[in-house]
A and B are shown apart, each in its own frame.
Chain A
Amino acid sequence: MLNVSVLRQSWRSWWSFSTRTVGPAWLQVLWTVLFNSAIAVVLTLMAWAFAGRADPLRFFIWNFVIAQSIGLTIHALYEAGGHLLGRERIEAFSTRNRVIFFAGIPIVGCLIGYWIGLTLLGVDVSRIVQGAPRVVVAIVIVSIIFSTFWYRYLAGKTRLERAEADSERERAKAVDLQRQAIDAQLRSLQAQIEPHFLFNTLANVVSLIDTAPDKARSMLERLIELLRASLAASRSERTTLGQETALIAAYLDILRIRMGERLSYTISVPPELLNVSIPPLSLQPLVENSIKHGLEPKLEGGSVHLSARAADGALQLDVEDDGLGFSLHPDAGVGLANLRDRISSLYGARARLVIEELARGTRVRMTIPLAQVE
């Protein structure tokens, strides 16, 4: 279908002598005819204004016939050249061949077009060639000058387009590098185990070694699991939801030994989602926030629930607690703000982080595009 966009692109491909034209072939011919007509009008106006021709209509008809003859001849020559040589060969032309092809065709086209046009107008061309060879020379010179300008214009435009494409590529590369740098930086921030958490956990292990060695061992095992996963996560760009929830379980198990009755948790992830891809350590800040600002400061403690579901091609992860709520502590939410920056640098507008305050507690919902791990 023809619409404004196709028309515009077709015109552009005609104007820039592109080897890959857009739109139907007759449209390309139409552009040529319109261009020829415009030239005929301009020449007539100029002659009328400067030379004061007495019979503009007759002069216009002359100009029109000759302009169409020349233009359509050039058009036909380009078409024929394209068919004979093939599009790929033309595009791969060396500079010299390019000059010969793109500047040579208009020169030859001018001569042949003039001859056709004059013949159509009933002029005996051979008499002009014999009687006034200077006219022929003038035509040749004019067409050479015209072709040269045209070629220079085209070459400059091609160089410009190439430079633009290069700088666009550079820009895209820089943006990508920047994105990777942001991700790596935020990832390493989130991979840091809080010293207070680490030392408190180790103090618990020491305190349990004599009285409850089993508990001490399981706590140490969970801590090792957590440290190993954090280290791995800080070095890779993707993990699976299954691995990430295992990490969360290790973290919460440690806290449950430490906080005792005050903490309970559930993790519910449907088995078909265990293998979907998520950024490493992206769940950790959500859970940590619930613990640090919701449950740890609350006298009677509480519970935290992690759940995952797929909806509309997106992965929705909820962390809900019945704690004190997002506190006014200025440190609260630093981890969440970092996480938000991180997922938005990874997924743009397709990622969301919504912190909702419930009647009791907080629900943080992270939404990212659903993707399987390759």
Chain B
Amino acid sequence: MKAIIADDELHLAQYLRDKLSKLWPELQIVAMADSGPAAAAAIAEHAPDIAFLDIRMPGATGLQVAEKLARSTKVVFVTAYDQYAVDAFERDAVDYLLKPVTDERLVRTIEKLRKGTSPTAELAPLLAQLSEHMAGRAGVRHLRWIRASRRAADGEITQQIPVADVLYFQADDKYTCVFARDGTDVAEWLIRVPLSELGKQLNPDDFAQIHRSVIVNMNAVDGTRRDLAGKLHVRIRHTARELPVARQYVHLFRQM
């Protein structure tokens, strides 16, 4: 039988190799990989019977590597601590090892692999779900920082600006202008995300669309004013600016 070990931390990979050679001398370790892409390449080259995959690796996670595996290669995941993944593996009877690997636990896994009772079930749905979770898309999370640029004396600077400091966003063709507090001033930034796309990622408790081309931070609204024509405007704190409110959004300011 042939196997590969993939772990970006060299000592841990070597430790597992040494343990395997002691407890399962017939097993042939044909390759050691230190990243996701290296693991995928080694598997493609050697077509091993077993792949020991660390979950967190640079380039691609062990889960992503496993998703593309042929059914003939059995996967054993190795992790130091990923409680969510371990729970899922336990539930779906997927082989996994916890680092540091103990002899006792490794022997049990080896027996299952030898007898062929190790699961060869379809891993895809579980892995897809886990990968989503690892990427942080599970559950709703709102943007905290926005990557924005502006022209400065010495060329363009790009910063991550805190969403909490944003006063309002204004659509500008394909881009979006961001007006944000910068110490005691107000700075204008540009981001390369259209307003409609951005709106979905903002916390609706704080941000509200008030016009086709404007999303304001409700915490930055100082007050409202109705002009002679009956049109509603909001005053933006820290600026002398007023922004018009489109008719369909007027209800947002009823209580103010």
A residues near B (Cβ < 8 Å) are 195-196, 198-200, 202-204, 206-208, 211-212, 257-260, 262, 296-299, 301, 326, 329-334, 336-337, 340, 349, 352-357, 362
Contact = CB atoms under 8 A, between A and B. Distances in A.
Interface in B5-59: 8-12, 14-15, 18, 35, 37, 56, 58-59
Going nearest first, the 5 A-B pairs with the smallest beta carbon separation are A207-B15, A355-B160, A203-B99, A206-B100, A199-B80
6 contacts: A199-B98, A203-B100, A207-B12, A299-B58, A332-B145, A356-B159
A207 B100 contact: yes
Interface string B214-229: 0000000000000000
A354 B189 CA distance: 14
Contacts of B144: 333-334, 337
Contacts of A354: 159
Given A204-B12, A297-B59, A356-B158, 18 more contacts: A198-B81, A199-B80, A200-B12, A203-B15, A203-B99, A207-B100, A297-B58, A299-B37, A326-B145, A326-B160, A329-B135, A329-B136, A330-B141, A331-B136, A337-B145, A355-B145, A356-B160, A357-B160
A205 B71 CA distance: 35
A211 B135 CA distance: 35
Given A200-B99, A331-B136, A296 B58 contact: yes
A200 B145 contact: no
A258 B98 CA distance: 17
B254 interface: no
B9 A199 contact: no
Interface of B: 8-12, 14-15, 18, 35, 37, 56, 58-59, 80-83, 98-100, 135-137, 141, 143-145, 147, 157-162, 183-184
A222 to B, nearest CB: 15
Nearest to A206: B100
A257 to B, nearest CB: 8
Given A330-B141, A349-B184, A196 B99 contact: no
A262 B10 CA distance: 11
Contacts of B143: 330
A211 B10 CA distance: 13
Contact of B81 (A200, A336, A349): A200
A340 B35 CA distance: 33
Contacts of A202: 100
A299 B15 contact: no
Contacts of A356: 157-160
A262 B83 CA distance: 27
A299 to B, nearest CB: 5
Given A211-B14, A329-B135, A330-B137, A203 B159 contact: no
B35 A299 contact: yes
B162 A206 contact: no
